Amino acid sequence: MTKTYSGFITIVGPTNAGKSTLLNQIMGRKVSIVSHKVQTTRTNFRAIKMVGNRQLIFTDTPGIFRPNRRLDRAMVGAVMDALADADAVLLIIDATKGITDTVRGIVDKIRDNKNLFVALNKTDAVKKGDLLPIAAELNEMANFREIFMISAMKNDGIAEMLDGLAAVMPESPYLFDAHDDVDIPDNLYLSELTREKIYRYIHQELPYHINVVTEHVDVDNEGVLDIYQKIVVASEAHKKIVVGRGGAQLKQIGVAARHDIQDQWGVNARLHLFVRVEENWEDMAENYTDQGLEFKK
């Protein structure tokens, strides 16, 4: 019988380094939402990738390490949980930013893992000569097995990286079914697609204070989905911005989210969005469990 291998790889790194972009590139579809703003990913997303007879179970994590508020603490908790049972850790660094204090802080949290890897991402946006000093510094910071140079966006260096990661997976029966797959509840995925559009269209920091909850999904006789989502904001002022003049902003978000849902799932859908003010949503446990997070007292 051929041997099988299966293990957990946790993707960590500063916010905006390209962790979610990388996971999407590995899976060939949008598993985890992406934006140019900080702190897009809020909870762990798991994706299973087969490389021959080796199963790589990736976890994408939020890029946050210095918690200020309750939601932050829950996100940091999610990162730490994903690190606790990792067979390997893949640190993603934005090569355009190099080694920051945040990167140093993360390295201190992961250095005990025996299969440490680092990927210098966004190589498409820097000069080759800028990469070597970063790599040299990384080698002094911890015992990395390999340093990969990648562009998650351009799909550059990803295949080699997967081979390197696959090589250290422990011998084990497959822990999940042996095909590429993602492990995300449908309702959460639908909420995420809408939250991504809020990050795209609403400016500054506001998206960071918004939550999206899929309340229910119906299917009509023709197989069209009716998706009901509430967008939770912390104040009337925030609501005004999200709704926009004459509802224009909300409409733009809704149309883009509906198109994306249809594209991702190959379905027809109607999306019903409601904006609700819940001043203390960040202090309410149900807003955490819905997002796959643990509420921290």
Positions in the binding site for Mg ion (CB under 5 A): 19-20, 40-41
State the CB neighbour count (10 A cutoff) for residue 87: 20
Q: Which of 3, 36, 128, 245 binds ligand GTP (CB under 6 A)?
A: 36
Interaction between residue 59 and ligand GTP (CB under 6 A): no
30 binds, among ligand GTP, Mg ion, none (CB under 5 to 8 A by kind): none
- Would you count residue 19 as binding ligand GTP (CB under 6 A)? yes
Number of residues that bind ligand GTP (CB under 6 A): 24
27 versus 153: smaller Cβ distance to ligand GTP: 153
- Within the chain, strands assigned E span 5-12, 45-51, 54-60, 88-94, 116-121, 146-149, 181-183, 211-219, 225-233, 269-277
d(CA 276, CA 6): 43
Give 151's DSSP letter: B
Of the ranges 71-79, 147-155, 174-182, 277-285, which one interacts with ligand GTP (CB under 6 A)? 147-155
Distance, in Å, from the CA atom of 296 to the CA atom of 278, rounded to the nearest integer, reads: 19
SS3 264: helix
Among candidate residues 12, 155, 154, the one with its CA nearest the CA of residue 82: 12
Least Å from the CB of residue 60 to Mg ion: 6
227 lines the binding site for ligand GTP (CB under 6 A): no
Q: Which of 152, 198, 212, 233 binds ligand GTP (CB under 6 A)?
A: 152
The verdict on 194 binding ligand GTP (CB under 6 A) reads no
Of 10, 40, 44, 211, the one binding ligand GTP (CB under 6 A) is: 40
Q: Apex CA 184: angle with CA 181 and CA 185, to 5°?
A: 130
**Shortest spacing between CB 7 and ligand GTP, in angstroms:** 22
Cα–Cα dist 106/92, whole Å: 10
- Contact residues: ligand GTP, CB under 6 A: 13, 15-21, 34-36, 38-41, 62-63, 121-122, 124-125, 151-153
